[in-house]
A and B are shown apart, each in its own frame.
Chain A
Amino acid sequence: MHRLGAGWKIAVGTVLSALAVGARTPAELLALVLVTLCYFFAARLTLFDLWRDVRYLVLQGIVVTGLYCLVHGVALGLWPGIRTSVQIILFYIPGAVFLRTTRSRDVMAGLGRVIPYRLCFLVFVCVRFVPYFLREIEEISAAQRLRGARLLPRQLLNPANWPDLFNCLLLPLMVRALKTADEVSRSAEAREFGIRKQRTFLAVCAPSKTGSPANNEPPAAPAEEPQLCRHQNP
């Protein structure tokens, strides 16, 4: 399952999710539970993984079944409640398998084939800057806490401290984001990024060979600089 292409996993997941929406009778549901569990465990995932993926859905299922029993009584409401809850869980399991068995770079490669590269670049930037802004948040938060801002997680549970969150953390963060966007865009545009419709690559050409010097003497002339071959379309 791990070696299966991202597209195939999406296709299988879509079919299973659609079947989960359509299942009505106990036999259909039982068959679908078996197929979905086979799909899940074929991906070499464990029971613990399954529990971690569906625990909140199970909680939601208990609430839904409870509501059914409350409205119709236990005798009439138990089966529809369980059926609906199981259907909701089955709807989400293929997505969990996809996320657990597909590497980010495979998803990215798959996305690159479906969506325009400019949008793909933005998604990549969004992901790439997560650790950067996480560090920024930590730094701004530490500095503001030293100045007396109430930004500790337990302090933020009190809505009276939310103005501190916006004024002392989010506002400086936005200023930082604006500056970063400015710097990154200037830097990219200076490299002529995005001037062509197709995706371009900055390929480094190998330097031409000048011949090996005799008796290990240094070459008389400095080695040729690597040439940058710009805008090569794949």
Chain B
Amino acid sequence: MTDSNEQAYLWNRFSLREALLLGFCATFIILTRAGLRLHLHMPGHVMFFTMFFFLLARGFVPKIGAVTLVGLITSLASVLLGMGMGGPMVLVKFLLPALVVEVAGAIAPAFVGSMLACAAVGVIASVIRVGASTALEWLIGMEQEIMLKKALFSAVMNGLYGGLGSLAVPSIIRRLRKNGLIDQGPDGER
């Protein structure tokens, strides 16, 4: 539970405990990414756990900027651990879905409690992630028809996995709140 006496550690917004918790969410994304790399090579499967932990981070720390921080830490740690061959693309690939979750959080602060809202945000954020690689292909000069076909396939796979991963978030958040491990949901944005 959040202590009212906690001092702001980062961006005058997050206490050290919250920042560490968000850092741990990034650790879990890295862990699952590395684990899935060893077993599966299916397009879009990375979004399953990425969206799960992004939305969970939003549930743990219901403040604007929390998910962006997770995305930022994940991308920097990916580069550090040798998982980010795309350079700046890695940053964009994690920050784009994180920003979608932020926007959803700004519109409906308590959306992580709803399964439908989580699934919708998960699908949209995962689909938007495809935009990063599509933008690169567009810059390279790939033909539009082929680019769109490829983007459509990637978007469907990303959206499917992202949506599935997001579905589990509300029940976990509810159980953690019920046991008093996290705050009882935002009454509004802090």
Contacts and interface: CB of A to CB of B under 8 A. Distances in A.
Contact of A24 (B17, B87, B141, B176): B141
Contacts of A31: none
A1 B121 CA distance: 44
Interface string A177-200: 110111011101100011100000
Q: DSSP class of A's interface residues: helix, strand, loop or mixed? A: helix
B78 to A, nearest CB: 10
B16 A127 contact: no
A91 B136 contact: yes
B29 to A, nearest CB: 9
B16 A188 contact: yes
B17 A182 contact: yes
Nearest to B179: A175
Interface stretch (B69-77, B104-112, B122-130): B69-77
B142 interface: yes
Nearest to A81: B146
A109 B28 CA distance: 24
Contacts of B190: none
Contacts of A184: 20
B185 interface: no
A98 B90 CA distance: 14
Nearest to A185: B17
Contact of B85 (A96, A125, A137): A96
B137 A122 contact: no
A14 B19 CA distance: 31
Interface string A85-115: 0011001101110111000100110010001
Interface string B85-124: 1111000000000000000000000000000000000000
B159 interface: no
Interface string B29-41: 0110000000101
Interface in A197-225: none
A17 interface: yes
Given A126-B26, A133-B24, A178-B181, A14 B141 contact: no
A133 B28 contact: yes
Contacts of A56: 41
Interface in A112-144: 115, 118-119, 122-123, 125-127, 129-130, 133-134, 137
B24 A177 contact: yes
Given A126-B26, A130-B30, 12 more contacts: A67-B150, A98-B87, A100-B82, A111-B80, A126-B73, A129-B24, A159-B164, A177-B28, A178-B21, A181-B24, A186-B17, A194-B16
> Top 5 A-B pairs ranked by shortest CB distance?
A185-B17, A181-B21, A95-B85, A181-B20, A185-B16
27 contacts: A14-B87, A24-B141, A56-B41, A64-B146, A64-B150, A68-B146, A84-B137, A84-B141, A88-B140, A92-B86, A94-B87, A95-B86, A96-B85, A115-B76, A118-B9, A119-B72, A123-B76, A126-B30, A126-B74, A127-B81, A129-B27, A153-B39, A173-B28, A174-B172, A178-B176, A181-B21, A194-B7
